[in-house]
Structure 1
Amino acid sequence: MNLALKDIRHSLFRFVLTCFGLGLLMTVVLAMIGIYNGLVADALAIVKAPEAELWVVEAGTQGPFAEASSIPADTRDAVARLPGIAASGAITYQTLETESAGKALRLYVIGYETGRLGGPSHLIAGREIGTSHFEAVADRKTGLVPGDTIRLGRDRFTVVGLTEEAMNSGGDPAIFVTLADAIALQTEIAPAAERVRAARGATPPSANNVAAVIARLEPDADVELVAATIRQWKHLSALSQSDQENLLLASVVDRARRQIGLFLGILLSVSAVVIALIIYTMTMEKLKQIATLKLIGAPDRTILGLIVQQALILGGSGWGIGLTLILLVKDNFPRRVLLEPMNAAVLAGIIVVVCLVASGLGIRAALKVDPATALGG
């Protein structure tokens, strides 16, 4: 006879309710792990999307993500002529807010040269941009579908394709347009503001600047050597793909990542304390039954097995409920919740350790019970 299961059946409703409450706590823990992973993945997604190996930006900046960067668009031709460069492309980035289906929609607009580096890495629906103006490829999280139209600036763009997992570090979904359209969006100003600018004789903003030039190298080319060559041009700087990713994590999302990580640590600590208290309380409620077991000659290992098995069943049930719930609701979060099998496995290991430690507290109390307690009233 398994005493742990028999005791659970004796108070099944309360045990199930306790497991469900613990499961909700595990759901929050897994959600925070997923949000942390999603924050990092979102931040790196936009850097990895062009599948570039080299980023050429304005000298003295760490652009185009950590800082603003503006370089002449024809820099792409100069970079393309360098030894070791296999492909290159000019690219721009900007954030704007528009309206779709009666709701405000915040977008990360990426302008690229069709047929060159910088466009969407893959499509899940529709086709690529086929004209020089007023077509777009949107991330599926925008809620747009091929055939929809959306106003960007003063013009309406037709969505011709969909991609996925293209967003900036703030979680804003991306929309890809041609470089010419993106530059027009960057430089256009309201008519009233244009009249004021003309009256003051101010210089109009440059209509031929981009945020960066990206490049892919020949298989035998040394990225550091090519980057060093570009840095010799006084008005340019160059970053490798790994440098760009590390810079993004160290500057743009570092504070948010650390804050979420700290909150996750607090949640794990609270979960450990809650599990320990639940198991300890369950043990203290059974002291009279434990005393009876001792009185009839049950060995200590029987009592130890009773407490440890119940603790592991409680922790395992809570973990299973939490994992099931987060998998069901994670797609409804406004930010991406990214859970990997290793995350669930590590949390399971942590729960097992916590349950064993908490069992130790209960076992210590149980082994101190005087068998004569069972004869009391």
Structure 2
Amino acid sequence: MNLALKDAAHTPMRFVLTAFGVALLMTAVIGMTGLYRGVVGDALLVIERIDADLWVVQGERAGPFAEGSAVAPDMDRRVAGVPGVADVRRFTQFSQQFAFEGATRRATITGADIPADDGRWLALAAGRWLAAGRCEAVADESTGLAVSDWVELARDVYEIVGSTRHMVDSAGDGLLFVGINDATAIAQKRTSEAIYLARAARGTGEFAGAGSSVAQESKIAAVLVRLAPAADAANVIATIERWGDVRVLTTQQQRDLMLNARLWKLRLQILAFTGLILLITAIVVSLIVYTMTLEKLYEIALLKLIGARESVVATMIGQQAGLIGLIGLAGFLLSIGAAELVFPLFPRRVVILAGDLALLGLALLGLALALICAAAAWIGIARASRVNAREVLA
């Protein structure tokens, strides 16, 4: 006779609710893992897709993503003359608020060096890529803009000619692509009074001590370099960095700076929350098994009185904990379907990969639940072993 199954049949609602709670906690683990994937994917989106071998940024800076950067407006022409460079593109990116249909929206303006940047690295959901003309934009769906919409940025009105999907920055703001000249004009927008004061300050020499080779009006954050097939990257980097006013980063270095500098604390926080959820799961399951054991102290004493061995009691408690674990794993399968329905409604993208689900279900969750249930069973068995058979006569 399987005493655990008999007990489950006697109080089925407790097992169902316990399994449901474990399944919800496992859904939260899936969500935290998917959120981590989404944050990393969004942060590395431009770095990985823009098809650049080298990033020429401001000297002694780690820009343009991990730190602010500004290079001379003609830096692309200087870099283009270096042996081994196949082509160059100017790049800039900054956050911008704008008004659309009576509401304030927020987007990350990304300057594309048209026509050098042909948009081949960008997956369009609708419309077309930017042409050579100005006042055109390609917007991500998360900005609330669609093809054929018109939006005012700075003092110009832009037509949305293309649309993307899931193209956001590390903060979750949708990307809005415009020509590099348009992006510079948007970034330089100032009030008339601010322009007047700036001109007056330059006339008095107030800012003459800046001593920078970069014009103060420059909004170019970096120059993207694609190397020739036979080029030696180390020689190209050494040649450019000898100029002294710039720094050259590889794509891998940009990835490392983004993940290990800008996103390091966020990654640790997500990992800490995931561990906390597993700890809560362990506590919940242990309390349930312990409570079940306390409620059956009379029955356990009766079993011992009629001659049942300690192993019979221990097996019953272990089977109960194992049954909760098995139902929890079954609930994990249901939680996958719930995740597909709920997580797309989240403000940040939650990326659920099949490989992560398999690893989570077969390895992490399976092992975690096994350890949790084993610990819960041990606590229950330890309490049951202290029950004296004579207590049934009290």
Distance 1:104 1:285, change over 3 A: farther
Deviations 1:52-78 (A, max 9, x none): 121001111111112221112332233
Letter in 2 for 1:150: V
Deviations 1:192-238 (A, max 9, x none): 32233345555997555511011222334333332222111111110
The residue that corresponds to 2:316 in the other structure is 303
Stretch deviating more after TM superposition (93-102 or 3-12): 3-12
Counterpart CA distance in 1 for 2:368 and 2:235 is 46
Counterpart CA distance in 1 for 2:114 and 2:89 is 9
Counterpart CA distance in 2 for 1:52 and 1:65 is 15
- Whether the aligned pair in 1 keeps the contact of 2:4 and 2:317 (CA below 8 Å) is no
- Whether the aligned pair in 2 keeps the contact of 1:4 and 1:309 (CA below 8 Å) is no
The residue that corresponds to 1:184 in the other structure is 185
Q: CA deviation at 1:93?
A: 0.9
Counterpart CA distance in 1 for 2:273 and 2:163 is 35
Distance 1:234 1:209, change over 3 A: same
Counterpart CA distance in 1 for 2:299 and 2:100 is 65
Counterpart CA distance in 1 for 2:328 and 2:308 is 29
| Aligned with residue 364 of structure 1, among 373, 382, 393 | 382
Q: CA deviation at 1:104?
A: 2.3
Distance 1:234 1:302, change over 3 A: closer
3-state DSSP class of the match of 1:71? coil
RMSD: 2.9
Counterpart CA distance in 2 for 1:45 and 1:290 is 60
The residue that corresponds to 1:92 in the other structure is 92
Q: CA deviation at 1:376?
A: 4.5
Contiguous gaps of at least 5 residues in structure 2: 208-214
Distance 1:240 1:320, change over 3 A: same
2:291 is the counterpart of 1:281: yes
Counterpart CA distance in 2 for 1:18 and 1:28 is 16
Q: CA deviation at 1:351?
A: 2.2
The residue that corresponds to 2:43 in the other structure is 43
Counterpart CA distance in 1 for 2:66 and 2:231 is 27
Counterpart CA distance in 2 for 1:339 and 1:364 is 40
- Whether the aligned pair in 2 keeps the contact of 1:145 and 1:162 (CA below 8 Å) is yes
Deviations 1:111-141 (A, max 9, x none): 0112434845221221111242111111222
Stretch deviating more after TM superposition (106-115 or 203-212): 203-212
Letter in 1 for 2:27: T
Q: CA deviation at 1:12?
A: 2.1
Counterpart CA distance in 2 for 1:118 and 1:65 is 22
1:133-212 mapped onto 2 (5 Å cutoff)? 133-201=134-202, 209-212=219-222
* Percent of pairs with identical residues: 36
Counterpart CA distance in 2 for 1:117 and 1:128 is 10
Distance 1:376 1:315, change over 3 A: farther
Letter in 1 for 2:42: D
Counterpart CA distance in 1 for 2:129 and 2:69 is 27
Distance 1:275 1:94, change over 3 A: same
Counterpart CA distance in 2 for 1:220 and 1:286 is 77
3-state DSSP class of the match of 1:88? strand
Distance 1:372 1:144, change over 3 A: farther
Counterpart CA distance in 2 for 1:64 and 1:53 is 15
Letter in 2 for 1:76: D
The residue that corresponds to 1:19 in the other structure is 19
The residue that corresponds to 1:238 in the other structure is 248
3-state DSSP class of the match of 1:124? strand
Stretch deviating more after TM superposition (158-167 or 107-116): 158-167
The residue that corresponds to 2:212 in the other structure is none
Q: CA deviation at 1:150?
A: 1.9
Distance 1:10 1:78, change over 3 A: same
Stretch deviating more after TM superposition (68-77 or 291-300): 291-300
Letter in 1 for 2:342: V
2:325 is the counterpart of 1:312: yes
- Whether the aligned pair in 1 keeps the contact of 2:115 and 2:132 (CA below 8 Å) is no
| Aligned with residue 264 of structure 2, among 254, 265, 276 | 254
2:116 is the counterpart of 1:111: no
Distance 1:243 1:82, change over 3 A: same
Counterpart CA distance in 1 for 2:378 and 2:233 is 56
Q: CA deviation at 1:174?
A: 0.8
Counterpart CA distance in 2 for 1:117 and 1:368 is 76
Aligned residues: 376
The residue that corresponds to 1:326 in the other structure is 339
2:131 is the counterpart of 1:130: yes
Counterpart CA distance in 1 for 2:43 and 2:24 is 28
Stretch deviating more after TM superposition (169-178 or 117-126): 117-126
Counterpart CA distance in 2 for 1:20 and 1:342 is 22
Stretch deviating more after TM superposition (207-216 or 292-301): 292-301
Letter in 2 for 1:67: E
Letter in 2 for 1:328: L
Distance 1:290 1:314, change over 3 A: farther
Letter in 1 for 2:162: G
Counterpart CA distance in 1 for 2:31 and 2:24 is 10
Stretch deviating more after TM superposition (215-224 or 106-115): 215-224
Distance 1:87 1:280, change over 3 A: farther
Counterpart CA distance in 2 for 1:55 and 1:186 is 21
Letter in 2 for 1:194: I
The alignment's TM-score, normalised by the length of structure 1, stands at: 0.88
- Whether the aligned pair in 2 keeps the contact of 1:84 and 1:221 (CA below 8 Å) is yes
The residue that corresponds to 2:356 in the other structure is 342
